[in-house]
Structure 1
Amino acid sequence: MFSLLRFYLILSGVCLVSVLPSQAASYVYISLGGEKKIAIYQQNEADGKLTHLTDVKVPGAPGCLEVDPEKKYLFASIRSAKEFMSFSINPENGELTLISAVPAGGNAAYIATDRKGRYLLSAYYGEGKVAVHRLKKDGTILPEILQTIPTDKNAHAILPDQSNRYVFVPHTGPNAVYQFLWNEADGKLKANEPAIFEAAPEMEPRHLAVSKDNRFIYFDNEKGSSVTACKLDSESGTLKAFQTISTLPADFEGKNTCADIELSPSGKNLYASNRGHDSIACFAVDPQTGKLKSLGQAATEKTPRSFNIDPEGHFLYAAGQNNGKLAAYRIDSQTGKLTRIDTYEVGKSPSWVEVVKVP
C-alpha cells in the first residue's frame, strides 16, 4: 500500500520528506597515555571501519574512560595528573567539550558511574582505596569527594550490579573482591557482610563484568590467566564462585597475565584479554547456568590492555599497549567467534577503548 501511494505521489509531482528519526552515530574513544590525549574515531556501523576525527589534549596520561547511562557525557581518569575530567559528547561529530576537571584524590585506575548516572565511583590501585564523587545533571563532577574508604593495595576496578544496590571491587594484591552495599539515595558505600570474597589461591581478580539479568558476575584473573564465574545472591549482594576456566590454549607455556573482560550485549558471549599470549579469549555463555565454554583465542596486538565491544554487539576493538595498534574484529552473531577485519595505528600506549553509540 505504501509503495503504491509513493508511486502516485511521485507521478503527481509531490515531494516526499522522510519523517524517520536520524540514525544514531557511534564513536570510539581511545586513551593514549604516551601522548596525553584522547583520540576520537567514528565507527561505520555497517562494516566496523573506523575514521580518525580528532584528538583532545589532556594534562596527563589518560586511563579509564566511562560514559553516563544516557551517553551524553564522557568521564576520564587522568592518571598521572591525578584528576577526573568530564566532557559533553557532540552527537553530530563525536567531539568532546570540557565540562569540569577536579582533583581525583589519587591515581584512579578505574572509574564507573552508578546505574542512575548520579555518582562517579573510583578505585585506586596504588593508594588501595575507593571513593565517590557526586555528578550534576549537566555532567559536572563536583570537586568535593563525597566518601573515601580504604580497602587494600591494588584495587583494580569498581562496578555496581544491575540493580544499583551492590558494588564490587576486585583487588589483584590481596587476591580478593571487596563487596559493598550501595545507597543510591545518598551516594554512600557500606561494607557488606562478609566484606570480602576470597578468590582461589594465585588468581588475583582484576576486572569484572555483570550479566544483564544480574544473576552472574565474571572476573578475569590477572595472575591465574583465567575467568571465574560467580553467582550473585540478589538478597544479600554476595558472591559464590562456581567455575574457573583458563583463557589460554592448553599447550601455551609462556608468561601471561589477563587484563580486561567484557560480556557481549546479547549476553551470549564473554571475552578476556591475554597479555603475553597476546590474544582475546572467547567464550560461549550458557544462559541458564552462566557456565562458560571456551571458543579458543583470537590473536591480537602486543599487550592488549583494553578492548571494548560496540553497543550493537557486531564488532570488538582491542588496543595493543606496547605497539600502538588497534585490532578490529567482526563478531560472528551465531558462534561469537572473532574475525580480524582491520588494524589501525592509533598512537603511543593506548590504555583504554570506549565505544559509544550517541542517541
Structure 2
Amino acid sequence: MNKKSIFINIVLVATTLSVATSAYCGTYVYISNTDDADISAYELIAGSSPHLNSIGRFPAGKFVMPMAVTPDGKNLFASVRSKPFALYMYQIDQANGQLKWTGAVPLPDSMVSVSTDKTGKWLLATSFGGHNNSVNQIQTNGYVNPVPAEAFQSGGKNPHAIVFDQSNKFVYVPQLGTDEIKIHSFNASKAKPLSETSTSVALKKQQGPRHIVISADNNFAYVITEMTGEVIVFARDIKSGTLTQIQATSSLPSDSKLVPGRPRPPTGSPEATAFDDSNMIFCAEIKLTPNGKFLYTSERTKSTLSGFEVDPATGKVKYLFTIPTEEMPRGFNVDPSGQFLVASGQKSEKVSLYSINQSTGELALIERVPGGKGANWVTFVKTK
C-alpha cells in the first residue's frame, strides 16, 4: 500500500469516527434523592434487552427535589428545598449523560416545581409554602441569573406545579390549597415575561389539584387531584389559554377502600404527630405518552400506578388498570420514545423500569435497579 492510500484510509477512518461521535444519541434518566442529597443517573438501554445502566451519583443539596432541563438537553437544574434554598446547575455531557456541576444560585423560597420555557431563555419556579412564583433568565452558557427578573405572589395557596403550554404563550399553576388553576400569559421576548395577573378556573373544594400536563396538540390539559385521586380533563382554548372541564374520573380501582385526603399539618407540629393518613388518598404525578394515546398517574398511600387510554378526538380518558409499584411513588416519567416508564419511590431504594405496550398501554415490569434514599423526581433527557 503506497503512502497516498494510507493517508486516504486514515482520513476515512477519522471521518467515520467524527460522524459516529457527532451522531451519538443517548437517553438518560435523572432521579433526585432528598435523603441522599444527590442525583442518580442512568442510561436507558433499549433494544432486545432493555436495561437501566447506572452512570453515577452526582452531589446536590439536602432535599433536592424538582428538576428541569433546557430544551436542547444540555443543562439540568435542580431545586434544593432546604435552607439556604438554591438552584443547582449542571451541564449534561452529550456523549455519556454525566453531570458537571457548574454552581448554585439562590432561590427566594422552597420551590416545589421548576420549568424551562420552550426558548430555553427562562426558568420559572413556584413555592408551595410561600405561595409565590419566580422567573430567572437563563444565559447562553446555561448559567442562571441569580437575580430574579420577577418574583410575586401566586394569587392562590400552595401552588404545586408551574407548566408551559406547547405554544409557550401560557403558564398553568395548580393551586392545591385553594382548589383552582391559575393561568398566566407568557411572552419570552419581554424583560418580565410572565404576567403577574392571571385568570382562574375553579375545581371542587378539597380536590387539591396537584400536577398538570398539556397534550402535544395543545388542545387538552390533564390534572391529577391529590386529595380525591381524580383525573380532571380540560379542553383548552388555544388563543386565550382558558380551560373548560369536560371530564372527571377516578384514578383508583373500583374496589379501593381509600377515603379522600385532607391537607397535612406542618411537619413537626403537634397536629402532624397525631395525623393519620394511612387510609387517605395521596396522589402525586401525572404523565402522558408523547403520542397522547395513554396517560398514567401515581398514588402514594397504596403505592400504585394507574393507566388510562386517551381518546385523541375528545381528549377524554378511559380507566384501564392499577398496578403496584415502588413504595410511595412521588415521581415517575415516560421516556421520549413512549416505549418505557421509570418509577421511583420515596420509601424505596429501588427504581422500576417498565415497558409500555403500544397497543394496550399495559405496563410490564422489566427490572428493578438500585436507587437512592428519598427518590422523588424523574427526568429524561435524550441527547442528539
Q: Please say which of residues 292-301 and 118-127 is displaced more in the overlay.
A: 292-301
Map residues 124-163 of structure 1 onto 2, 5 A cutoff: 124-151=127-154, 152-163=156-167
Partner of 1:39: 40
**Partner of residue 5, structure 2:** none
Partner of 1:208: 212
| Equivalent residue number for residue 194 of structure 2 | 189
Paired residue type of 1:136: Q
Aligned partners of 2:134 and 2:50: how far apart in 1? 36
Q: Tell me the SS of whatever aligns to 2:95.
A: coil
Identity within the alignment, %: 34
Structure 1 segments (4+ residues) deviating >4 Å: 15-21
Match of 1:199 in 2: 203
- Name which of 52, 76, 87 aligns with 2:78: 76
- Whole-angstrom CA distance in 2 between matches of 1:167 and 1:326: 31
- The alpha carbon displacement at 1:259 in A equals 0.3
Query: Amino acid of the residue matched to residue 287 of structure 2?
Result: E
User: Tell me, what secondary structure is at the counterpart of 1:305?
Assistant: coil
Question: Partners of 1:48 and 1:147 in 2: how far apart?
Answer: 43
Q: How many Å separate the matches in 2 of 1:269 and 1:227?
A: 13
The structural deviation recorded for 1:16 is 8.5
Q: How does 1:1-359 map to 2 (within 5 A)?
A: 22-46=23-47, 47-81=49-83, 82-151=85-154, 152-186=156-190, 187-191=192-196, 195-254=199-258, 255-359=280-384
Distance 2:334 2:46 in 1: 12
Structure 1 residue 277: deviation in Å? Answer: 2.4
SS at match of 1:304: coil
- TM-score relative to the length of structure 2: 0.86
- Supply the distance in 1 between the matched residues of 2:296 and 2:357 (Cα, whole angstroms): 13
Tell me if structure 2 keeps the 8 A contact 1:26–1:45: no
What is the alpha-carbon distance in structure 2 between the residues aligned to residue 335 and residue 197 of structure 1?
33
Distance 2:317 2:143 in 1: 40
Greater shift after overlay, 195-204 or 18-27?
18-27
Letter in 2 for 1:44: I
The alignment's C-alpha RMSD in Å is 1.8
How far the C-alpha of 1:60 sits from its partner, in A, is 2.4
- Cα displacement string for residues 239-284 of structure 1 (whole angstroms, at most 9, x for unaligned residues): 1110011110011103221101111011111111111121111011
1:145 is paired with a residue whose SS is coil
The residue identity in structure 2 corresponding to 1:130 is N
CA–CA distance in 2 between the matches of 1:265 and 1:298?
21
- Cα distance in 2 between the residues matched to 1:318 and 1:89: 22
> CA offsets per residue over residues 121-169 of structure 1, 9 Å max, x none?
0010010011100001111100111111202331100011111111000
User: Unaligned 5+ residue runs, structure 1?
Assistant: 1-12
Contact 2:233–2:248 (Cα < 8 Å) also in 1 = yes
Cα distance in 2 between the residues matched to 1:56 and 1:160:
28
Superposition TM-score, scaled by structure 1 size: 0.92
Instruction: Note if contact 2:33-2:40 (Cα within 8 Å) is conserved in structure 1.
Output: yes
Task: Please tell me whether the aligned partners of residues 161 and 210 of structure 1 are also in contact (alpha carbons under 8 angstroms).
Answer: yes
TM-superposed deviation, 1:324? 2.2
SS at match of 1:126: coil
Cα shift at 1:213: 0.7
Taking the aligned partners of 2:189 and 2:352, their CA distance within structure 1 comes to 41
**Aligned counterparts of 2:174 and 2:50: Cα–Cα separation in 1:** 32
Q: CA deviation at 1:192?
A: 5.5
Q: What is the rounded CA distance, in whole Å, between the counterparts of 1:290 and 1:28 in structure 2?
A: 28
Aligned-pair CA distance for 1:326: 1.3
Say if 1:286 and 1:209 are closer, same or farther in 2 by CA, change over 3 A: same
SS at match of 1:136: coil
Distance in 2 (CA, whole Å) between partners of 1:103 and 1:23 is: 35
Mind listing any 5+ residue stretches in structure 2 that lack a counterpart? Answer: 1-8, 259-279
In 1, the alpha carbon distance for the partners of 2:307 and 2:202 equals: 25
Which string of whole-angstrom CA distances, capped at 9 and with x for unpartnered residues, describes residues 78-124 of structure 1? 11141012211001221111223110111000000011111000010
Aligned residue type for 1:311: P
**Counterpart AA for 2:34:** G
SS at match of 1:256: coil
Could you tell which deviates more after superposition, 31-40 or 184-193? 184-193
Is contact 1:248-1:277 (8 Å) kept?
A: no
Structure 1 residue 343: deviation in Å? Answer: 1.1
CA distance in 2, matches of 1:71, 1:133: 18
Contact kept, 8 Å, 1:131 with 1:148, in 2: the verdict is yes
C-alpha contact 1:155 1:172 (8 A) present in aligned 2: yes
